[in-house]
């Protein structure tokens, strides 16, 4: 059969095809599309039993109904997050849904630190200056991290990897999560209420999933608790941060730096070339005007190691479906 994959990046495709060929040895063909799956593009999936989706695809009830009517019986999401998929509708339609429950936590944790260090030491501004042979240091002063406090919001695999790096810098560790991670406790992390973490941390990094309970976890109230010279990093999900509240905070001259790899309205923008278009998202455009904000396009996971794990797990999920099995990564098992 032919299996179709949506939102496939150019660097991802060779890894996906290699894993596919190794597993199926020509028994199934793979069609890779750059376009994202949504209500406008869903007709292209007609006749495909298995669809590989990306985190920026829109798989709401309407899209899922069209997929099911066209013969789709399995959706393999190539990411950990799945808030873009209506699982209730998938279950009602008898469509199996699987995801990649985990991959290299170091890819995201290391990138979160890349953002933190870049905004702290004004790396982007410095690089722009030196390209123009301006070697002044005015406005480039950062701060030592040793002895300061890192607040880790969400201490699962990625959060604990971030905490281990913070420990290596000699930082005091505060954590917030529904359960304590023994690995973080062993590093000396103190688990505290969320309000205390945001009030005391010099650096706050977000590593929780996007759920109804965590939507706009960082809002006006939370931002108001933070130190004026604190750093905020979000490499998890854009919806964790209330963008309007963040813009108001930045306009007030608060926060020494913000590193964002995600944005709550990134669908239809991130992973695409918008350089020749007018940016109609005023909030996104406004964020880009602040010199202390560093915004990247959801690339924290994008290493050979992590993407390799993602494609291998995706292929494994397909094998489970074809064999009539439900694996650990199955979200909806069609009956």
Kindly list the catalytic residues. Answer: 237, 266
Under a CB-based contact definition with an 8 Å cutoff, are residues 207 and 240 in contact?
no
- Give all strands of the β-sheet with 257-260 in edge-to-edge order: 190-191, 172-176, 149-153, 203-206, 231-234, 257-260, 293-295
Residue carrying the six token digits 């596919």: 20
Q: What are phi and psi of 2, to 5 degrees?
A: -100, 130
Q: Is 26 left (phi over 0), alpha (psi -120 to 50) or beta?
A: left
Q: What angle do CA 98, 273, 299 make, to 5 degrees?
A: 45
* Burial tier of 153 (Cβ tally within 10 Å: 0-12, 13-18, 19+): buried
What is the DSSP pairing of strand 190-191 with strand 203-206?
A: unpaired
Q: What is the DSSP string of 107-149?
A: HHHHHHHHHHHHHHTTHHHHHHHHHTT----TT------TTSE
Q: Report the C-alpha gap between 250 and 254 in whole angstroms.
A: 5
286 is written with which tokens?
Answer: 């406004």
Say whether 191 sits in a helix, a strand or coil: strand
DSSP 8-state code for residue 27: S
DSSP 8-state code for residue 250: H
């Amino acid at each position: 059969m032919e299996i179709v994959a949506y939102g496939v990046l150019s660097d991802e495709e060779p890894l996906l095809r290699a894993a596919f060929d190794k597993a199926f040895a020509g028994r199934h063909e793979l069609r890779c599309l750059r376009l994202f799956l949504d209500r406008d593009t869903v007709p292209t999936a007609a006749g495909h039993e298995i669809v590989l989706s990306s985190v920026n695809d829109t798989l709401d009830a309407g899209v899922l109904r069209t997929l099911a009517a066209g013969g789709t019986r399995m959706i393999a999401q190539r990411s950990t997050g799945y808030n873009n998929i209506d699982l209730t509708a998938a279950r009602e339609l008898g469509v199996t849904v699987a995801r990649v429950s985990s991959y290299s936590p170091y890819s995201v944790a290391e990138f979160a630190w890349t953002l933190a260090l870049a905004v702290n030491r004004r790396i982007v501004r410095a690089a722009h200056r030196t390209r123009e042979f301006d070697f002044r240091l005015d406005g480039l002063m950062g701060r030592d991290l040793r002895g300061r406090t890192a607040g880790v919001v969400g201490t699962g695999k990625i959060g604990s990897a971030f905490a281990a790096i913070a420990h290596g810098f000699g930082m005091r560790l505060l954590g917030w999560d529904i359960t304590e991670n023994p690995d973080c406790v062993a590093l000396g992390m103190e688990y505290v209420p969320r309000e205390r973490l945001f009030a005391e941390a010099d650096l706050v990094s977000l590593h929780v999933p996007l759920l109804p309970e965590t939507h706009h976890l960082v809002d006006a109230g939370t931002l108001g608790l933070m130190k004026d010279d604190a750093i905020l990093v979000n490499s998890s999900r854009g919806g964790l941060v209330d963008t309007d509240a963040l813009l108001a905070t930045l306009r007030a001259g608060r926060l020494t730096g913000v590193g964002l790899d995600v944005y709550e309205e990134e669908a239809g923008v991130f992973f695409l070339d918008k350089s020749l278009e007018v940016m109609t998202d005023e909030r996104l455009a406004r964020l880009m005007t602040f010199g202390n904000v560093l915004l990247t396009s959801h690339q924290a996971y994008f290493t050979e190691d992590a993407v390799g794990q993602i494609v291998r797990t995706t292929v494994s999920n397909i094998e489970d479906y074809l064999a009539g099995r439900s694996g650990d990564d199955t979200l909806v098992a069609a009956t």
